[in-house]
Structure 1
């Protein structure tokens, strides 16, 4: 079973939601987030961030921290490589698009094992078994996991650290939670209507 190349066709790429309906103060806040990524913490943490913003945050703090984490909303555009044979850990490299970058990312071993439900050694053993039913069952499990990757569009908890050359997906959740959607909507809601300044109803005298 090979998943070395899984091109994924998408009709719609992730779109950037910064539109003209965003209030001025929210636009200023989002600009500040990019230019000053250190404010992405505590009560001001946004429901999700972007890979570009997370990379900027890491560049700002990597001399003082061992890693940085953030949630991104993205979809998989393809699988670069998947290694599991005669290994104790999975190595799954994917391409993701979050609207700011299309980036190569490493899916954490624990995430892959949770998705498949078996260790790499168990998968290798089952696929090389003389029991045809066992082989067929494991192939079906792998096909289901491949389908999960092909249709994945949701949230990832991504970590950038000093030991890995690639960002690492520590968690993958299909879809977007209602709470995250509400927080995002709060950032994008239209501004309240502005009350026009009071003006005198007296006619303006323009004659000499």
Structure 2
């Protein structure tokens, strides 16, 4: 009597086990390919790859842009090849300065000015500046702008107002420490002219549409 029955029973079982192991290995490789490191790619030494760095930069950019879009900001201008392109006509900006002063000041010049910081490699800060007269006296206002990762310049309602008033001074200048406004200076105070600066914590330069 031949004892072949155990082998005949064992062979299909071994074949089935090998097939299952192969299927499991294929499934594991497919899962790893679809979700390598939960979306984080690393090189042999464990350092992030260029692709993961690009994803990280894009996420930071989207976060910064959403912060601007979700806040009560108004697009004023953009910077293209180091030149300011106005998104709001300068004539409209002058009218808004008149509205913001609200004391009879007539602004006849409005511009966006860049102020470099202490580190020349930094972008510095951009200010929206308006200049004019009230009763023959020099007046000026500067509002700091927010810069997005796409080099668009926004004015936030929480931006400070730096307001200058000259008395007996033909023109007043803003003093800076780095890219921050710290005071004012009269261009010629030989005749006793003075300039004063007032800082207001917020602005209504672009009032809500329902006002």
* Coarse TM-score class (shorter-chain normalised): under 0.3
Q: Which structure's residues are more often strand, by fraction?
A: 2
Q: Which has the larger radius of gyration?
A: 2
Q: So what's the TM-score if we normalise by structure 1?
A: 0.26
Q: Which structure's residues are more often helix, by fraction?
A: 1
Structure number with the bigger relative contact order (C-alpha 8 A, sep ≥ 6) is 1
